Amino acid sequence: MARKPNFILAHPAFSRVRTPHFDAMFRVIRRSRCGSINRIFRQYSDSPSAEPLRVCVVGSGPAGCYAAEKMLKRYETARVDVIDRLATPFGLVRSGVAPDHPETKIVLNQFTRVCRHERCSFLGNISLGSSVSLPELQDLYHVVILAYGAESDRALGIQGEDLAGIYSAREFVWWYNGHPDCSDFNPDLKDIEIVVILGQGNVALDAARILLRPTEELSCTDIANHAIVSLRESSVRKVKMAGRRGPAQAACTAKELREVLGINDLRINIKESDLVTTPADEEVLKNDRIRRRVYELLSKAVASKSSGDNSSQRELEFIFFRKPNMFLDSNDRPGHVSAVQFEKTALRDDGSGKQMAIGTGEFEDTECQMVLKSIGYKSISVKGLPFDHRAGVVPNTRGRVLSDASGNSAVPVEGLYVCGWLKRGPTGIIATNLYCAEETVSSISEDIDRGVLARSSQKPGTAGLLELLGSRDVRVVPYSGWEKIDAEEKRLGALQNKPREKLTTWNELLRVAGA
């Protein structure tokens, strides 16, 4: 027997969708006696004649592109706008992945297909919070997915942090990758012999490799021209990568470590005594394959240490069990960093099995002329967005943004989702965002199926956004604008045997995009 209509109408999925389509669909349901209400509702949701599901993804990096791709695949009626603060798409793949890692950038082919999809629009040079507010986006779209990553840096909060010569690794990475916000960042490498990098994650390794690798090996990559010019003039001889914990806890991965250890004619300096392990270390090494591989590579590097003393040879030193205590001002160049004062550490179990670095009260100074803080990126909030300032993420359950970070009374905000570093913190490789996007899009699907998304109402989507931005004189860069930038960069690159020569200033980018 067909189910009674009032039973179906009572289902929350149908509470907001009484349209002519609904009534037609409802008659079909009664006639066909078919499957679960949720399945029927999903069919309704995907009906080509239904009101398009208007989706806005904020951020065109890996998390944003994967989320857009999944929404397009799951909903035939989805119209997805991917907006970005920059004039160029692809976020970290363009401005984070190191230029000598072209294989990692192959994912750009997939992301390009997403942005060129007939139901997707890339819209660049739109800054959430200044060009358009979050509540405005929520009014314009059924679904807003925030995937704008982590564009700031964790701070150490120690004395001397604002001295000249101390930079975040992010700024350094953006500079060599031609990010327009760091085109003026000019670390005068001519006058620098020793660089201290704080942190031992993969970003720290990228920075060390770019500083130490022979420039002939970099000049054929898409490294920014200003960076290769500066690196050619560089007098950097030593890079000291400092970690507050030991070799068994180093945050980097084996492939990236092997690469830096394999740099031609590079002396590796690791204190043998640092490799002595405790029972707690042994436990980590036994259970964690990545940590074990990293530890083995470091041990091998100590064993194969060259004994020759070539003073012009470049050197990478790994410093363990040292946490930065303060930065020291230079006597010769007041206002400029001259050393990092480290406090020696010992490891203690924090109660959960994690080994924490505890200061021992013993201090030592390490001379340097430049410091790169590579202790992790940080997401920034925008007005109207619930934000957990301690964790640096948007409070969420499986990608559903929660109304506040305090936990107890938090409820999901209708139509607002989060994905990528903004959702889970600044860790993970590009592929991690694939799973992250899958989770967020599944939550969206569940919400649509359960009818908790008010998608029966018409939303202006792209047209409304463009009208609003037009009234504010925002120079939007459409995908065709990016194609012009892309063509110009490739043309400039070909002149120098590079895959591309990036345009590195806002003016150039907007001019070439014709925005």
Name the site residues for ligand NAP (rule: CB under 6 A): 156, 198-204, 206, 243-245, 249, 251, 256, 323, 357, 374-377, 426-429
What minimum distance in Å lies between the beta carbon of 250 and ligand NAP? 7
> In the complex with ligand NAP, which residue's Cβ is closer, 199 or 461?
199
What minimum distance in Å lies between the beta carbon of 376 and ligand NAP? 5
Q: CA angle, corner 267, sides to 263 and 272, nearest 5? A: 120
> In the complex with ligand NAP, which residue's Cβ is closer, 17 or 375?
375
Give the pair of three-digit tokens for residue 301. 């590097």
> In the complex with ligand NAP, which residue's Cβ is closer, 357 or 385?
357
Alpha-carbon distances, residue 363 vs 325, 340, 342, 499 (angstroms): 8, 10, 6, 47
> In the complex with ligand NAP, which residue's Cβ is closer, 7 or 363?
363
Interatomic CA distance for residues 338 and 335, integer angstroms: 9
> In the complex with ligand NAP, which residue's Cβ is closer, 75 or 174?
174
> In the complex with ligand NAP, which residue's Cβ is closer, 430 or 453?
430
What minimum distance in Å lies between the beta carbon of 74 and ligand NAP? 27
What minimum distance in Å lies between the beta carbon of 242 and ligand NAP? 8
Residue entry with tokens 């060129």 = 116
What minimum distance in Å lies between the beta carbon of 396 and ligand NAP? 19
Task: Using CB positions, name the residue nearest to ligand NAP.
Answer: 201
Q: Tell me, what DSSP letter sits at residue 371? A: E
Interatomic CA distance for residues 130 and 276, integer angstroms: 53
Residue entry with tokens 């230029």 = 99
What minimum distance in Å lies between the beta carbon of 377 and ligand NAP? 6
R_g of the chain, CA atoms, integer Å:
26
Interatomic CA distance for residues 58 and 417, integer angstroms: 10
Q: Exposed, middle or buried by CB within 10 Å (0-12, 13-18, 19+), for 305?
A: exposed
Alpha-carbon distances, residue 212 vs 191, 205, 262, 418, 499 (angstroms): 15, 10, 11, 37, 22
Interatomic CA distance for residues 402 and 449, integer angstroms: 19
What minimum distance in Å lies between the beta carbon of 421 and ligand NAP? 8
Ramachandran region, residue 213 (left: φ > 0; alpha: ψ -120 to 50; beta: rest)? beta
List the alpha helices (DSSP H) in 243-309.
254-261, 279-287, 289-303
> In the complex with ligand NAP, which residue's Cβ is closer, 20 or 361?
361
Q: Roughly what angle, to the nearest 10 degrees, separates helices 202-212 and 225-232?
A: 60
> In the complex with ligand NAP, which residue's Cβ is closer, 9 or 290?
290
